[in-house]
A = this chain, B = another copy of it.
């Protein structure tokens, strides 16, 4: 059977390895440390850095496909590997748009896909850039978001500001200080959605149901699958946009298109990720084919699997590291959770507990007669318990 190399030893690689086992494979991971989530469970670990071309070459040797659990590999290295015949999937020409928010915005606009208003704050001329920010801010009543063009994730590299002074302070602190910036209109939104798709080199595409993602502190906390009450035409539009973009960019593998549903019922594209994504963790228990198996199928150019949901509703809640790690061990917390919720599907990543760090997730697959509020309440209660060793009365619908 073929070997797939995944760059990065995080939880996405860890869960991809689980899927690889069923397909008769062992995932090869390039990990920084033997204690990385995937390195702790795979028999094929290459230790090294994703920024070192020789480490990347060692990891690629003999592999049928070469893919990623994060967007951090320098494009110049990928160009070199592609020139040497490595099957980089997604290819550098596609991954570029997941690494560079300005390029992504420009390309989306060029394709006629709905994006927020934005302005490039780059260039060598600080005063000119500051002037562009001021003008953009005034045009949008200072309801703006500043973003680093590269390297942001889980809320890092994104600044929501409320006033002119705040926005200019972010600019002054970051301009020329490593981060290239853009500014975007803050979209008046009802909620956030994600349209997860997969695409194979052959050109086959497959879309899972569109989900609602609930963000807290700038990162995904909860996913409701499918997005409750989403207008069918809007859901179809989101899937079509995501599939079309994957095709236009030549994406190979899983791609998440994060979207805003605006208060007036339109869609606006927020972010792209070209790898298995937090908004797809529900598929492990809630869909016929998980995003991890699908990613492997796609990068190996296998025909794609059935993306149908297994149940009317599935809710995923992230287990986050608490401000202060509980005294009760994770093992003991899991015992208690198993006792209270025999139906909870727990996925732990083997990571140390640090505040707000994603260390696992819980999926609850609803039965036919269970409403989304009930399923969500259980998922959030379970995740909160695993984070804090405190039972809450559950999810507060007003939070």
Contacts and interface: CB of A to CB of B under 8 A. Distances in A.
A47 interface: no
Interface stretch (A105-113, A135-143, A329-337): A329-337
Contacts of A43: 39-43, 45
Contact of A18 (B18, B288, B297, B338): B18
A168 interface: no
Contacts of A365: 288, 310
Interface string A1-30: 110000000000011011011111110000
A391 interface: no
A18 B302 CA distance: 22
Interface stretch (A144-152, A188-196, A220-228, A347-355): A347-355
A311 B308 CA distance: 14
Given A42-B43, A43-B42, A43-B43, A24 B360 contact: yes
A334 B24 contact: yes
B22 A338 contact: no
A119 interface: no
A170 interface: no
A185 B320 CA distance: 59
A26 B302 CA distance: 28
Size class of A's contact patch? 35 or more
A305 interface: yes
A1 B303 contact: no
A64 to B, nearest CB: 9
Interface in A305-358: 305-306, 308, 310-311, 330-331, 334-335, 338-339, 342-343, 345-350
Given A26-B41, A305-B338, A14 B21 contact: yes
Given A1-B331, A330-B1, A342 B22 contact: no
Contact of A346 (B2, B23, B288): B23
Contacts of A14: 21
Given A1-B348, A23-B346, A288-B365, A338 B303 contact: yes
A289 interface: yes
A303 B42 contact: no
A187 interface: no
B303 A348 contact: no
A24 B348 contact: yes
Nearest to A305: B342
Kindly name the residue among A25, A310, A342, A350 whose own CB sees the greatest number of chain B CB atoms within 10 A. A342
Contacts of A335: 302-303
A304 interface: yes
Contacts of A303: 335, 338-339, 342
A26 B40 contact: yes
A286 to B, nearest CB: 10
Nearest to A293: B345
A320 to B, nearest CB: 15
B348 A23 contact: yes
B42 A331 contact: no
A4 B325 CA distance: 25
Interface core residue of A21, A304, A335, A365 (most chain B CB under 10 Å): A21
Given A305-B342, A338-B297, A41 B21 contact: yes
Q: Which 5 A-B pairs have the closest CB atoms?
A: A24-B348, A303-B339, A303-B338, A306-B342, A306-B343
25 contacts: A1-B330, A14-B21, A17-B21, A17-B41, A18-B22, A20-B41, A21-B41, A22-B345, A23-B346, A24-B350, A26-B40, A26-B350, A40-B43, A41-B42, A43-B45, A288-B345, A302-B338, A303-B335, A303-B338, A303-B339, A303-B342, A304-B342, A305-B342, A305-B343, A308-B343
Given A17-B41, A39-B43, A302-B338, 7 more contacts: A2-B331, A21-B41, A22-B345, A288-B365, A297-B338, A303-B342, A306-B342
